[in-house]
Amino acid sequence: MSVTMDDPIKRWTAKRKTALVVEIIQGKTTVAEASRSYDLSPSEIEGWVEDAKRGMECPLNLLD
């Protein structure tokens, strides 16, 4: 089952965080818009984005 941001949010699971971060990276939404829409602090969302970017570094380094 895929998670979309249209699904009602009961709690922020890893799958939901990932779906939101992907939307931000793809330019479909901004941190500010997500913060307002989901009543989250911008710093919390920015932390998720930074965590995701760090998580992508290791697999990409394997391609070098």
In tens, the pLDDT along 9-58 reads 779 999 999 999 999 999 999 999 999 999 999 999 999 999 999 898 87
pLDDT class for 1, splitting at 50, 70, 90? very low
pTM for this entry: 0.77
- Answer yes or no: is pLDDT of 7 > 90: no
Query: What percent of the chain is helix, strand and coil (3-state, nearest 5)?
Result: 60, 0, 40
Q: Is 18 helix (H, G, I), strand (E, B) or coil?
A: helix
